[in-house]
Structure 1
Amino acid sequence: MNTQVPEQIVAAQKVGGEVLYGFFNTAFEVYEKLVALNLQAAKASILENEAVVAEAAALSTKDPQSFFELQSRQSQATTKKAQAYWQHLNEIATETRSQLLASSEKLASEYVRETRVIIDNLAKNPQAGNEAITAFWSKGFGAMWDAANALHGQARAAAKEAVNVMDRAGKPVARA
């Protein structure tokens, strides 16, 4: 019996587990960034609104024209702050997308490499009496390998196109 195959399967599973925890860590980091961004935005909003309310109360009784000018300035400032918030959110999403894409590519390449090593070892060291089955598996996995490579290329191209579409869709919002 070939003892390398179980060890290689365990190694492949270990890589999969490490990548899965890498995804979890990335997701948690994104969550932390979003919470920090929202807390920062809420705190800034509270402090600014407090100052505006105090200024508005002073102006409303003395000079109504200045009060309306203050409202207009606040409206413009709020629009700029909202744009900055969404731009920062877009940056977090873009960074996360690239991290997850890189992790996915690493996982796929490691999985393919480990699977190929297992198949090659099975083909090189068939168990006695199972040569025909091993040859069948080897040819079947070879065909699956070719199909998987073609599918991986198509999926990668589709993912890149999706990223480009998302980037093009997000840019007018950030610049508006």
Structure 2
Amino acid sequence: MNMQVPEQIATAQKVGVEALYRVFNTAFDAYEKFVALNVQAAKASILENEAVASEALALSAKDPQSFFKLQSRQSQATTKKVQAYWQHVNEIATETQSQVLASTEKLASGYVRETQVIIDNLAKNAPAQNEVITAFWSKGFGATWDAGKALNH
């Protein structure tokens, strides 16, 4: 048996494991961004609620109409903040999805290249009487590759 084939298989497996860890790191980075966003939102909310509560207490004692105006302003401000928060969440999710998709596509194309090299090496070094099996593997791999490309495009 050709010693190059096991080395190529090991290399392909190593590339796969490295790609998997890149995806894990990307997901963890996204998680860190979500946590940072939530901490920032919680801090801002606490500070704003404290200020609004102080103002509301002062206004409710003096002028009830001003108190209701304050509530209305706060309601509108809260709606804008919630929309901004979800926009940030969407940006993080979209960025993460793009990074994972790019990594996956890169991994898949590298895996296909490596697998094709292995199949080609096996075909070159195939023992006598195994041409049918080699042709079967080559055609099968080609068909699988074409089907995968059709699904992704």
Aligned residues: 153
**1:43-82 alignment to 2 at 5 Å?**
43-82=43-82
Greater displacement, 145-154 / 8-17: 145-154
- List runs of 5+ in structure 1 lacking aligned partners: 158-176
Identify which of 131, 141, 145 aligns with 1:145: 141
Aligned alpha-carbon RMSD (Å): 1.1
Checking the alignment, whether the CA contact within 8 Å between 2:112 and 2:145 is kept in structure 1 is: no
Deviation string 1:8-28 (CA, Å, 9 cap, x unpaired) is 001000100100110111111
* Identical positions, percent: 67
Amino acid corresponding to residue 145 of structure 1 in structure 2: F
Amino acid corresponding to residue 12 of structure 1 in structure 2: A
Deviation at 1:150, TM superposition (A): 2.4
Measure the CA separation in 2 of the matches of 1:72 and 1:102: 45
2:83 alignment counterpart: 83
TM-score by length of 1: 0.83
1:115 alignment counterpart: 115
Deviation string 1:111-155 (CA, Å, 9 cap, x unpaired) is 1001000010111122xxx3323x233212222223222222233
- List runs of 5+ in structure 2 lacking aligned partners: none
Measure the CA separation in 1 of the matches of 2:151 and 2:41: 37
Greater displacement, 141-150 / 55-64: 141-150
TM-score by length of 2: 0.95
Off by >4 Å, runs of 4+ in structure 1: none
2:129 alignment counterpart: 132
SS at match of 2:2: coil
